[in-house]
Amino acid sequence: MKRIIDFYMDGFKNLPQWARSIWFIILLKLFIIFVIFKIFFFQNKLKKDFSSDNERADYVIEQLTNP
């Protein structure tokens, strides 16, 4: 396992500057997608609107079964 980690660490250390810039852009985009979007756009509506698991379950079943 250590050899595998060393292999990848050595590969990332020897990247040219343009490749490091690309990796920075990729990681920044992933951060935006998973963290920022989660905070602002995908808030937990069920936890906010309902206080118990039974109420949440009833709401979900109602939404799935009503046309």
Q: Where are the alpha helices (DSSP H) in the chain?
A: 2-13, 17-31, 37-40, 45-49, 53-65
Does the pLDDT value for residue 6 go beyond 90? Answer: yes
Q: What integer pLDDT is reported at residue 12 of this predicted model?
A: 87
Q: What integer pLDDT is reported at residue 39 of this predicted model?
A: 83
Task: Determine the average pLDDT of the residues in 6-27.
Answer: 92
Query: In which band, very low, low, confident or very high, does the pLDDT at 36 lie, cut at 50, 70 and 90?
Result: confident
Query: In which band, very low, low, confident or very high, does the pLDDT at 42 lie, cut at 50, 70 and 90?
Result: confident
> Cβ(35)–Cβ(45) under 8 Å?
no
Task: Determine the average pLDDT of the residues in 49-62.
Answer: 92
Q: Which of residues 1 and 37 earns the better pLDDT score? A: 1
